[in-house]
């Protein structure tokens, strides 16, 4: 008799109720260990749930567009080799691919939709389960008023899992239509008080008001004229192309950041003639190890030095808009162009890594980004981002800040220019830098100093050791 | 707020048990024009007339008899009691009459119109009430079905012979039989056993399952089991009564299962459960769905599948307890009056008013284990309670069940005299989300049995001083 196991959704991080976007196998399919069964999509990444062992799929428990959380059963698998099943660990999620650019580094946990606590808690009875007259046949039975069904709520939700609120607060919430699972309690250990319910209602009531009453946002009028939909086919042939998932997600983030953050862009140039000579001199060594030594890694080291000198650039504005969170680590996001759209993988702890190490890691991460193999954690935790268009061209541009970061460095194509050295014009290789910064956090003078400091590190790499 | 003036009533409540009269009174207090339909001439339903209340009056008598006898060991002898059954019955009936009379008075004060007779729906907004050949038609904007339940009758038994009793008949106290067989070892059976044994019957209990009080934590049942097994003629577990034969001088019960044979009894009480009355009101005419057992399914606002018709109490499901029905009755009445009420009580306590009493609420230890919950249990034996010792009743204990992660109380079980009163504090603690320390740090009066609740919490916390618990 062969053994069957339940394959469950493994720990997928802080995500709940995320949709199944692909079902890769069907009942009857033969699968090997680590073969993907379904693909899940969170806000930030897609991931495959693999089979822990080889076998035959007996039953698929999920279908397209189902939403799942950790522990949900994906499929019933008949194990090919039983000894393997004994040792089978719960499958690790294999988060592949796609990361969105310009995302906030924190995973946004999806609230459980329609978590109506009163209904879940309500011990409204299910008569079917009870010994009714049917018990007649079995002779003397216990009194029907036995406790089993009397223990309210426990059958569906453990008592300790219910919102931490007293009966009168639950009643108050119900009257206002508040779902207590959405309310943060301010009492001891998160106990939900009457005031918390009121505060929740207040915040919910005022939040949409901003959207609706946008014309008077902060005293500014934002009542744009309606953009009428044009029928472009009237003017010639057209083709409709849906945005990729990454493009759709990044569109929202970019729009939010552009509208929500007062951007200023500081432009400067760095003389990288010597840096380029140094880079070329060491290119072969890098190539021998299988990666390219690009100017970008020098920019990353210069960035670390600049952040150390100007800590306000390595910061985030707290949600209350009144506190600056200064970071003591140096994680740099690098915008990577992929066929699906722009993604920003984060290289962590750049301050601890040498040029070669960074170059190797950058090559590896960029390749994974293009192959859609980024994991959610690959795109989280950035301090500042660099977007380089140097390989393509241009002299300057305005990058959009990757909130909650407060600045982003745009890099255009370097070109040979005549530079006056107080005696004569000399041909020097000049690299255009465009630093967009959040003017709420950084003022113009600081931005100019920062950019100049960064440029000066590139102009003489020996300064990086200072 | 009078809705639908085209109807005779804003609300008709069918059934005047604890759930029904509570719903009617609450709705009237909220301004609705209410009719309360009841088939019997007195209000109060099973609970007041032939259930909770008369049984408690008799249990009080039983307790006095037992306690008087128990003092003999300590030097106070009253001698055997002389029982005047008529007077005792009069005391019980007087208690019932006082309460039901009070209800009729309050119905009048609230202008709730009491309509006597059997109700049957004739449409979604109308019903007929039949009484003594007369039929009265009532139309209503909303209705609450509170028709309750009745005792289950076992087959192969001589229903019609007055010596075969259900709980209603047993509470009438026609006589004190010498040999009484009680079929069913649950709450009702064991309470009746307690009464009749104290009055002088030799009691035999037969129970189909392996334990008395099925569904209760076994440790809670043990003190009761120990006490009654000494006093009763026999307790047959894992045994069923397949039939009861009639003879002139006795009823002969046939036992099958662990205990077998054919034995004579002077009376037999059948207390094997109750069956809902949902099928008796022609609910189909209103479109209300009733399942094959007679239950009516409702949502958390007590609405049936027909949005303006509600159902509460025994007829909507287990547990069939008056305090559940009254709570539901208030919810239904408030929803009828346009309020956003709902049943969101987290727990419903259960009490067996036996001697000793057994009470429990929330998650039982057995359930917690079955569900794999991470719990901690604080158990305080009454042998360490000065008050219990002074009462000469130290066999009980108080047990609290806590969620290990949050330290919050999620269940409680108490056995011993007054357990039913003590469990209320635990229910409040659960609803309020109290932690073990909240209970332990609340000063309880000394010397009371209520202290055992605080001490059980301290046992869980490891701060108790009235016990010595060796360190692990």
Q: Summarize pLDDT for B253-265 with one digit per residue, the tens.
A: 999 999 999 999 9
For the segment A226-283, what is each residue's pLDDT rounded down to a tens digit? Answer: 777 777 888 888 888 888 888 888 888 898 899 889 999 999 999 999 999 999 998 8
- Provide the pLDDT for residue A147: 33
H or E segment and range at residue A445: helix A444-459
User: B294–A132: do the CB atoms touch at under 8 Å?
Assistant: yes
Q: Determine the residue of chain A that is closest to B153 in CA distance.
A: A136
Compute, in degrees rounded to 10, the torsion defined by CA atoms A363, A368, A369, A370: 90
What ipTM describes this predicted complex?
Answer: 0.76
Higher pLDDT, A112 or A347: A347
User: What number of other Cβ atoms are within 10 A of residue A129's Cβ?
Assistant: 12
Contacts of A237 (CB under 8 A, 6+ apart): none
Higher pLDDT, A40 or A214: A40
User: B320–A144: do the CB atoms touch at under 8 Å?
Assistant: yes
Q: What is the pTM of this model?
A: 0.59
- Considering only CB atoms, which chain A residues are within 8 Å of B343? 122-124
Q: What is the mean pLDDT of residues A152-175?
A: 75
Nearest-CB residue to A124 (from B187, B271, B299): B299
Tell me the shortest Cα–Cα distance from B271 to chain A, in angstroms: 6
- Provide the pLDDT for residue A134: 34
User: A122–B300: do the CB atoms touch at under 8 Å?
Assistant: yes
- Provide the pLDDT for residue B177: 97
At residue A103 the predicted structure's pLDDT band, cuts being 50, 70 and 90, is very low
Tell me the shortest Cα–Cα distance from A133 to chain B, in angstroms: 6
- Provide the pLDDT for residue A2: 62
Q: What is the distance between the alpha carbons of residues B184 and B127, in angstroms, rounded to a whole number? A: 37
B32: its two tokens = 């609705």
Angle between the A355-370 and A295-309 helix axes, to the nearest 10 degrees?
110
For the segment B172-197, what is each residue's pLDDT rounded down to a tens digit? Answer: 999 999 999 999 999 999 999 999 99
Q: What is the distance between the alpha carbons of residues B20 and B36, in angstroms, rounded to a whole number? A: 8
B428 reaches A (C-beta below 8 A): no
At residue A157 the predicted structure's pLDDT band, cuts being 50, 70 and 90, is low
Q: How many residues does chain A have?
A: 466
Tell me the shortest Cα–Cα distance from B394 to chain A, in angstroms: 25
**φ, ψ dihedrals at B391, nearest 5°:** -75, -5
Contacts of A445 (CB under 8 A, 6+ apart): none
List beta partners, residue A257.
none
Using alpha carbons, list the distances in angstroms from residue A246 to A166, A345, A374, B202, B355: 44, 13, 13, 82, 70
Report how many Cβ contacts below 8 Å link chain A to chain B: 214
H or E segment and range at residue B68: helix B52-70
For the segment B76-112, what is each residue's pLDDT rounded down to a tens digit? Answer: 999 999 999 999 999 999 999 999 999 999 999 999 9
Q: DSSP state, B72?
A: G
In a 3-state reduction of DSSP, which class is residue B383? helix
Angle between the A273-288 and A444-459 helix axes, to the nearest 10 degrees?
60
Q: What is the mean pLDDT of residues B31-41?
A: 97
Round the average pLDDT of chain A to a whole number and report it: 78
- Considering only CB atoms, which chain B residues are within 8 Å of A118? 300, 342, 344
User: A140–B272: do the CB atoms touch at under 8 Å?
Assistant: yes
Is pLDDT at A436 greater than 90 in this prediction?
Answer: yes
DSSP notation for A78-139: EESSHHHHHHPPPPPPEEES---TT--SS--PPPPTT--HHHHH-----GGGS--GGGGGGS
DSSP notation for B77-91: ---SPPP-HHHHHHH
Round the average pLDDT of chain B to a whole number and report it: 95
Q: Which of A140, A161, A164, A179 to mutate to test the interface with B (most CBs of B within 10 A)?
A: A140
Burial of B69 (0-12, 13-18, 19+ CB in 10 A): middle
């Amino acid at each position: 008799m062969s053994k069957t196991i339940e394959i469950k959704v493994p720990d997928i991080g802080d995500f709940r109720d995320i949709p199944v976007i692909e079902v890769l196998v069907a009942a009857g399919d033969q699968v090997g260990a680590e073969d993907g069964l379904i693909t899940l999509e969170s806000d930030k990444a897609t991931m495959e749930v693999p089979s822990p062992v080889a076998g035959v799929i007996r039953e698929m428990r999920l279908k397209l567009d189902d939403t799942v959380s950790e522990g949900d059963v994906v499929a019933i698998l008949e194990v090919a080799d039983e000894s393997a099943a004994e040792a089978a660990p719960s499958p690790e999620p294999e988060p592949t691919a796609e990361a969105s650019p310009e995302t906030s580094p924190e995973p946004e946990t999806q609230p459980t939709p329609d978590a109506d606590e009163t209904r879940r808690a309500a011990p409204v009875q299910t008569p079917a389960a009870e010994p009714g007259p049917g018990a007649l046949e079995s002779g003397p039975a216990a009194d029907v008023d036995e406790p089993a069904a009397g223990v309210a709520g426990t059958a569906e939700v453990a008592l300790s899992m219910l919102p931490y609120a007293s009966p009168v607060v639950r009643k108050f919430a119900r009257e206002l239509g508040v779902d207590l699972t959405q309310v943060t309690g301010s009492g001891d250990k998160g106990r939900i008080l009457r005031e918390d319910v009121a505060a929740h209602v207040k915040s919910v009531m005022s939040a949409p008001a901003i959207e609706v009453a946008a014309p008077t946002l902060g005293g500014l009028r934002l009542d744009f004229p309606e953009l009428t939909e044009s029928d472009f086919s009237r003017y010639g042939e057209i083709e409709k192309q849906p945005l990729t998932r990454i493009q759709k997600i990044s569109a929202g983030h970019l729009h939010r950041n552009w509208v929500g953050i007062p951007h200023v862009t500081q432009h400067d140039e760095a003389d990288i003639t010597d840096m380029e000579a140094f880079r070329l001199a060491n290119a072969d060594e890098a190539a021998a190890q299988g990666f390219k030594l690009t100017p970008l890694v020098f920019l990353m080291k210069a960035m670390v030095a600049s952040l150390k000198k100007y800590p306000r650039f390595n910061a985030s504005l707290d949600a209350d808009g009144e506190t600056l969170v200064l970071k003591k680590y140096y994680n740099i996001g690098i915008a990577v162009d992929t066929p699906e759209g722009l993604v920003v993988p984060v290289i962590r702890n750049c301050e601890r890594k040498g040029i070669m190490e960074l170059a190797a890691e950058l090559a590896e991460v960029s390749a994974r980004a293009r192959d859609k193999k980024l994991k959610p954690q690959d795109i989280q935790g950035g301090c500042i981002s660099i977007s380089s268009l140097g390989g393509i061209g241009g002299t300057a541009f305005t990058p959009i800040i990757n909130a909650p970061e407060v600045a982003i460095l745009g890099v255009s194509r370097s070109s040979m220019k005549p530079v006056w050295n107080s005696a004569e014009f000399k041909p020097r290789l000049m690299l255009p830098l465009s630093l967009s910064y959040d003017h709420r956090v950084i003022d113009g003078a600081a931005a100019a100093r920062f950019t100049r400091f960064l440029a000066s590190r590139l102009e003489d790499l020996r300064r990086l050791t200072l | 707020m009078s809705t639908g003036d085209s109807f005779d009533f804003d609300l008709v409540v069918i059934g005047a048990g604890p759930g029904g009269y509570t719903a009617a009174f609450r709705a009237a207090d909220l301004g609705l024009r209410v009719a309360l339909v009841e088939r019997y001439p007195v209000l109060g339903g099973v609970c007041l007339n032939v259930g909770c209340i008369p049984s408690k009056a008799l249990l009080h008598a039983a307790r006095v008899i037992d306690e008087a006898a128990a003092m003999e060991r300590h030097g106070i002898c009253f001698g055997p009691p002389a029982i005047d059954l008529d007077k005792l019955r009069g005391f019980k009936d007087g208690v019932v009459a006082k309460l039901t009379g009070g209800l009729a008075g309050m119905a009048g004060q609230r202008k709730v119109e009491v309509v006597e007779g059997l109700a049957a729906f004739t449409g979604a907004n109308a019903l007929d009430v039949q009484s003594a050949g007369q039929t009265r038609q009532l139309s209503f904007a909303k209705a609450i079905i509170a028709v309750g339940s009745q005792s289950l009758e076992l087959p192969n038994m001589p229903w019609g012979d007055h010596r075969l009793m259900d709980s209603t008949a047993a509470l009438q106290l026609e006589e004190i039989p010498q040999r009484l067989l009680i079929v069913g070892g649950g709450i009702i059976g064991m309470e009746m056993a307690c009464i009749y044994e104290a009055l002088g019957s030799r009691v035999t209990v037969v129970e189909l399952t392996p334990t008395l009080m099925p569904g209760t934590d076994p440790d809670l049942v043990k003190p009761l089991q120990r006490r009654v097994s000494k006093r009763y003629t026999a307790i047959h577990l894992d045994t069923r009564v397949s039939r009861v034969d009639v003879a002139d001088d006795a009823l002969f019960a046939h036992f099958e299962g662990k205990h077998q044979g054919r034995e004579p009894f002077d009376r037999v009480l059948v207390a094997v459960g109750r069956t809902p009355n949902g099928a008796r009101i022609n609910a189909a005419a209103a479109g209300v769905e009733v399942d094959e057992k007679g239950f009516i399914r409702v949502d958390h606002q007590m609405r049936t599948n027909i949005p303006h018709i509600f159902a509460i109490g025994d007829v909507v499901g287990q547990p069939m307890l008056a305090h559940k029905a009254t709570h539901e009755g208030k919810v239904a009445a408030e929803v009828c009056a346009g309020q956003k009420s709902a049943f969101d009580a987290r727990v419903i306590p259960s009490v067996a008013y036996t001697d000793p009493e057994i009470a429990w609420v929330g998650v039982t230890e057995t359930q917690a284990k079955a569900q794999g919950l991470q719990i901690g249990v604080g158990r305080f034996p009454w042998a360490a309670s000065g008050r219990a010792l002074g009462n000469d009743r130290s066999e009980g204990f108080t047990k609290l069940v806590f969620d290990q992660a949050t330290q919050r109380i999620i269940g409680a079980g108490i056995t011993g005299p007054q357990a039913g009163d003590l469990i209320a504090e635990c229910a409040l603690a659960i609803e309020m989300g109290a932690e073990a320390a909240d209970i332990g740090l609340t000063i309880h009066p000394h010397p009371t049995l209520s202290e055992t609740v605080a001490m059980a919490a301290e046992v869980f916390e490891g701060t108790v001083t009235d016990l010595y618990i060796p360190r692990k």
